[in-house]
Amino acid sequence: MSGILKSEGFLNSFRKSPFLGIARGLPPEQAVACAECCVNSKLKFIEVPLNTSNAAAALKNLSEEGAKRELFVGAGTIITVQDLQTALDCGAKFIVTPGTNPDVVQKCVEKKIPCIPGALTPTEIMRAYMLGATAVKIFPVSMLGGPNYIKELRGPFKNIPLLACGGVRTENVKDFFKAGTDFISFGASVFSIPDMESGNWQKINHLISSICSCVSTE
């Protein structure tokens, strides 16, 4: 997986499988089952947000499992440079943030770690990309019209890789891709904490497969 550390290699791999799971609240002891679920459902990219209890342990365990499989594990909700260092220490292969902290983005550029900072307005999107973002997360996209907002952004931003986040569901996945998003992400609607805690990975597998099957990546 060494090639994933280079932004170009990361984007090429991500475009072939443009779905990002967000496992917020993943219990560390469920990391093996989570990795198996991702592999079985053909999900290749997943992030563990660091703002919940035991998140660092969950990220470390899932990163170790991902290294044994074709599963790329990143860290989400990275707000500070200290968060970034924690994520990298736990084995994160890419970084996702809710907003754009220039220090975090620039540190990722220095370390050649793919970084997807969050932005919402055109000004924020431009700023994030000019700082060196690998792609830009449009969050929360549902608050500004979902697919229609992505479509409007594609007018001026034809070459900036965009990740739609917030309000993505099975019913609108196709609409997001038709509107021009490069990637989509989904979190609690699929990776619910009760299901992860109880080990209901069969249900999670079904939900992931339902979303990913909406769009052909061939």
- Look at residue 114 and tell me if it is in a domain: yes
- Confidence check: pLDDT of 5 > 50: no
pLDDT tens-digit map of 143-182:
999 999 999 999 999 999 999 999 898 899 999 999 999 9
Q: What is the distance between the alpha carbons of residues 197 and 203, in angstroms, rounded to a whole number?
A: 13
How far, in Å, CA of 24 to CA of 30, rounded? Answer: 12
Cβ of 130: how many Cβ atoms within 10 Å?
A: 10
Considering the domain boundaries, does residue 7 fall inside one? yes
Mean pLDDT over residues 120-129, rounded? 97
- Measured from the Cβ of residue 28, the count of other Cβ atoms closer than 10 Å reads 15
| pLDDT range class, residue 216, cuts 50, 70, 90 | low
Amino acid identity of residue 121, one-letter, is: T
Which tens digit of pLDDT belongs to each residue from 184-206?
999 999 999 999 999 999 999 99
DSSP structure class, residue 189? T
Give the range of the structural domain holding residue 106, as residue numbers without chain letter.
2-212
Mean pLDDT of all residues belonging to the chain:
94
165 neighbors 19 (Cβ within 8 angstroms): no
Please state the pTM of the whole predicted model: 0.94
Query: How many whole angstroms separate alpha carbon 115 and alpha carbon 92?
Result: 11
Read off the CATH number of the domain in which 95 is found.
3.20.20.70
Asked if residue 218 is part of any domain, the answer here is no
pLDDT above 70 covers what percent of the chain? Answer: 95
Q: How many domains does the chain have?
A: 1
Instruction: Indicate whether 203 belongs to any domain.
Output: yes
For residue 217, being part of any structural domain is answered with no
| CA separation for the pair 173, 138 (Å, rounded) | 15
Structure tokens at 196: 């992860």
Rg (the chain; Cα; Å): 16
Q: Of the given ranges (2-16, 122-136, 164-178), which has the lowest mean pLDDT? A: 2-16
Q: Give domain status of residue 184, yes or no.
A: yes
| Euclidean distance between the first and the last CA atom of the chain, given in angstroms as a whole number | 22
- Going by the DSSP 8-state scheme, the letter that residue 216 receives in this structure is -
Determine how many CB atoms are found less than 10 A away from the CB of residue 121.
Answer: 11
Work out whether the CA dihedral 135, 137, 141, 144 comes out positive or negative: negative
